[in-house]
Amino acid sequence: MPEDWSFLKVGSVCELPQQTFTLVGRCRLQLRNEYKNFWCAEYAGGKCLYLVESFGSFSIFLSPWTDYNKEASKLRAGKSIKISSDVTLTGEYVEKCEGLSFEGELGPWPFIKPGFFVVQASAGSKTAVFFIDPKKNIDYLSGEKITSDRLNFKNIIEWNEWK
């Protein structure tokens, strides 16, 4: 796993008022201009969620992977992206995945080779991340942005432990 600025690790625990979950694995995407850690977490006796971290920003994705059955050309920065009858997001950026690294255990994860494109879209606290493979197959996760102070992390890498 390449070095990054994450203070999380496999075994870190997040305590939300309604749920506690434990990080069991990670998929690190190296994009052209940034990285994203997709932390796989186990909660409620075996359920899976993804906590996405990028430079200290976090989003939680409880949804399963969903097929996006509209045209890939609709997934662009600055454009409206409708994901349901009541949720329309705005594309924030499009980046190509240049590298993938895996650690620990993952829940469902449909992309195992780099070369796909990632589109981030949000509106308020709602967010989604879309993955477009070279054959224009599109899957996405939907969730919400959350601040790190709400996550109440335990068992993290302390500042004096960083390499």
Largest CA distance in the chain: 48
Flag whether pLDDT at 140 surpasses 60. Answer: yes
Show me where the domains of the chain are located. 13-161
**What pLDDT does residue 96 have?**
96
Flag whether pLDDT at 102 surpasses 70. Answer: yes
Flag whether pLDDT at 70 surpasses 90. Answer: no
pTM here is 0.92
Flag whether pLDDT at 163 surpasses 70. Answer: no
Q: How confident is the model at residue 128 (pLDDT cuts 50, 70, 90)?
A: very high
**Burial code of 23-58, b = ≥16 C-beta within 10 A, e = fewer?**
bbbbbbbbbeeebbbbbbbbeeeeebbbbbbbeeeb
Per-residue pLDDT of 30-69, as tens digits, reads 999 889 999 999 999 899 999 999 988 999 999 899 999 8
Q: Taking all residues of the chain, what is their mean pLDDT, rounded to a whole number?
A: 91
Name the CA radius of gyration of the chain, rounded. 15
The more confidently predicted of residues 141 and 157 is 141
